[in-house]
């Protein structure tokens, strides 16, 4: 009888551990249990990719459609080349789409927002997005503002 309560107690303890792990995984870290989605790669060159990191979100109209795979320097253009993995199901990005580095909230993380153009042709694996808009750097912004003030 004593042994049974022991076993019950230990069993409940182990179960509590497993439940805690599941809560941590699903509720706290928001890990989706689905397999990594198939994706295709699109590149974009930015004058300034400041604040963008690997695994940053790529979104369109606020909906997540992919993530940043890598950020390197393009040696020919001498710009930041951002490699984006776009989910396979997203096949409606036109060739003249534009990519902008945006900020979520005032102090939030940087993400890439893509807006679609009107071209007939769609972006395929390995294509470049030509129309890009760089990250907003506060110092540059203030610099421009002061410059305008002086011109007035």
Q: Which residues bind another protein (CB under 8 A)?
A: 3, 6-7, 9-10, 12-14, 16-17, 19-21, 23-25, 27-31, 105-107, 109
Minimum distance, C-beta of residue 54 to another protein, in the bound complex (Å): 12
What b-and-e string marks burial along 88-105, b requiring 16 or more CB atoms within 10 Å of the CB? eebeebebebbbbbbeee
Minimum distance, C-beta of residue 116 to another protein, in the bound complex (Å): 25
Torsion angle of C-alpha atoms 40, 43, 48, 53, degrees rounded to 10: 20
In the complex with another protein, which residue's Cβ is closer, 46 or 111? 111
Minimum distance, C-beta of residue 57 to another protein, in the bound complex (Å): 9
In the complex with another protein, which residue's Cβ is closer, 97 or 110? 110
Distance CA 65, CA 39 (A): 10
What b-and-e string marks burial along 43-56, b requiring 16 or more CB atoms within 10 Å of the CB? bbbbeebeebeeeb
And the tokens for 100? 């902008």
Phi, psi of 106 (to 5 degrees): -70, -40
In the complex with another protein, which residue's Cβ is closer, 4 or 75? 4
In the complex with another protein, which residue's Cβ is closer, 12 or 124? 12
And the tokens for 146? 């002061």
In the complex with another protein, which residue's Cβ is closer, 17 or 143? 17
| Pairing label, strands 63-74, 57-60 | antiparallel
Minimum distance, C-beta of residue 6 to another protein, in the bound complex (Å): 5
Minimum distance, C-beta of residue 10 to another protein, in the bound complex (Å): 5
Residue count of the chain:
152
């Amino acid at each position: 009888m004593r042994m049974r309560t022991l076993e019950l107690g230990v069993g409940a303890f182990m179960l509590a551990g497993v439940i805690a792990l599941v809560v941590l995984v699903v509720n706290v870290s928001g890990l989706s249990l689905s397999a990594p989605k198939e994706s295709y790669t699109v590149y974009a060159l930015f004058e300034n990719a400041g604040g963008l990191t690997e695994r940053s979100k790529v979104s369109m109209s606020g909906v997540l459609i992919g993530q940043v795979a890598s950020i390197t320097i393009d040696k020919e253009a001498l710009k930041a080349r951002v490699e984006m993995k776009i989910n396979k199901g997203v096949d409606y990005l036109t060739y003249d789409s534009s990519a902008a580095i945006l900020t979520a909230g005032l102090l939030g993380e940087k993400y890439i927002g893509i807006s679609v153009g009107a071209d007939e042709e769609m972006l395929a694996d390995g294509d470049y997005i030509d129309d890009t808009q760089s990250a907003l750097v506060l110092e540059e912004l203030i610099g421009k503002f002061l410059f305008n003030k002086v011109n007035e």
